[in-house]
């Protein structure tokens, strides 16, 4: 997907309070369950992904991205809170150095060891990811919390490929992977709110759809995530890719809606 955008080198700073135009719709947030508002008009999500659009895995120095061919509408997301059709672009994760933290969103302040983001852009309104990133209704990101428990069979194919992208800047071909296998069994129950990208450029273009049900991965699978490096092969000091999450941002009066009562 065309978000192969090498983000600036200031990664330790990207958690900082970067000045963002407006800045009253930043992500991630703490989802306060009792303050979320049930919206019966919210529909079930329809994710239709073609595993053959899967192209490669890329270590971009923040996370590892599994990127999809987004030149056609072969892999799309619609329904839920979305009015338009959104095209799958990539998915990636955020995780901690320990199982005690790592997610970006929290639920009643509860942290999870990791969080999956499946990124889509509005192909009804825009023709390129880069355009959509700058627009209010440009992106839709599904967030799924990961808990440590039993091994996730679908994730293992991805975990086995990670050593090939240990260093920042490395890319490896990766085909036939359906991100739907990483969704929880229940995708009807979610929270949704308007927010931003959680890494630079932090643009406020995202309709967030955060799943209520988490998925389980094994401790060993998460350990492979932590074996990745923020640094490229040439750098003397190698830095483990851990704690690549942004701190929670103020709600600024936004309402979080729930698809369930």
Ligand X SMILES: NS(=O)(=O)c1ccc(Cc2ccc([N+](=O)[O-])cc2)cc1
Write out the residues near ligand X by the rule CB under 6 A: 3, 5, 7, 117, 119, 130, 133, 141, 197-199, 201
**CB 151 → ligand X: shortest distance, Å?**
25
Q: Which does residue 103 bind out of Zn ion, ligand X, none, counting CB within 5 to 8 angstroms by kind? A: none
**CB 114 → ligand X: shortest distance, Å?**
12
Can you say whether the dihedral through the CA atoms of 20, 96, 87, 69 is positive or negative?
positive
Classify 162 as helix, strand or coil. helix
117 binds Zn ion (CB under 5 A): yes
> Cβ closer to ligand X: 3 or 137?
3
Using CB under 5 A, which of the segments 3-11, 109-117, 130-138, 150-158 binds Zn ion? 109-117
Give the alpha-carbon dihedral of 215, 56, 128, 122, to 10 degrees. Answer: -20
Q: Which does residue 3 bind out of ligand X, Zn ion, none, counting CB within 5 to 8 angstroms by kind? A: ligand X
Nearest position to Zn ion, beta carbon: 117
> Cβ closer to Zn ion: 117 or 120?
117
Q: How far apart are CA 215 and CA 204, in angstroms?
A: 27
Pairing outcome for strands 190-195 and 257-258 = antiparallel
**CB 114 → Zn ion: shortest distance, Å?**
11
CB 118 within 8 A of CB 91: yes
> Cβ closer to ligand X: 131 or 216?
131
Residue of 143, 106, 59, 62 lying closest to 247 (CA atoms): 106
Q: Which does residue 201 bind out of Zn ion, ligand X, none, counting CB within 5 to 8 angstroms by kind? A: ligand X
**CB 121 → ligand X: shortest distance, Å?**
9
Q: Which does residue 5 bind out of Zn ion, ligand X, none, counting CB within 5 to 8 angstroms by kind? A: ligand X
Q: Which residues contact 234 (CB under 8 A, 6 or more apart)?
A: none
Q: How far is CA 61 from CA 137, 167, 172, 180, in A?
A: 27, 8, 15, 25
Pairing outcome for strands 206-211 and 190-195 = antiparallel
**CB 233 → ligand X: shortest distance, Å?**
22
Q: How far apart are CA 42 and CA 261, in angstroms?
A: 11
Number of residues that bind Zn ion (CB under 5 A): 1
> Cβ closer to ligand X: 167 or 204?
204
* In the block, residue with structure tokens 């019966």: 40
**CB 261 → ligand X: shortest distance, Å?**
28
């Amino acid at each position: 997907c065309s978000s192969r955008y090498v983000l600036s080198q200031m990664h330790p700073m990207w958690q900082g309070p970067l000045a963002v135009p407006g800045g009253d719709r930043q992500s991630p947030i703490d989802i306060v369950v009792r303050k979320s508002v049930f919206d019966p008009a919210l529909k079930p999500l329809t994710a239709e992904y073609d595993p053959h659009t899967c192209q490669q895995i890329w270590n971009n120095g923040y996370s590892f991205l599994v990127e999809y061919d987004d030149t056609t509408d072969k892999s799309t997301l619609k329904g839920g809170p979305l009015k338009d059709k959104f095209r799958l672009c990539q998915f990636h994760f955020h995780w901690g150095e320990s199982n005690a933290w790592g997610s970006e969103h929290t639920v009643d302040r509860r942290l999870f060891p990791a969080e999956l983001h499946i990124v889509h852009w509005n192909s009804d309104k825009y023709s390129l990811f880069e355009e959509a990133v700058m627009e209010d209704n440009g992106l839709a990101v599904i967030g799924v919390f990961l808990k440590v428990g039993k091994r996730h069979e679908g994730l293992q194919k991805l975990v086995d490929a990670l050593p090939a992208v240990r260093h920042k800047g490395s890319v490896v071909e990766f085909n036939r992977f359906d991100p739907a296998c990483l969704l929880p069994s229940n995708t009807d129950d979610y929270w949704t709110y308007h927010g931003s990208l959680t890494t630079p450029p932090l643009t406020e273009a995202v309709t967030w759809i955060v799943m209520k049900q988490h998925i389980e991965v094994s401790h060993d699978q998460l350990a492979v995530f932590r074996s990745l490096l923020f640094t490229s092969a040439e750098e003397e000091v190698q830095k483990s890719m851990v704690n690549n999450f942004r701190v929670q941002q103020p709600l600024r009066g936004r309402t979080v809606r729930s698809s369930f009562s």
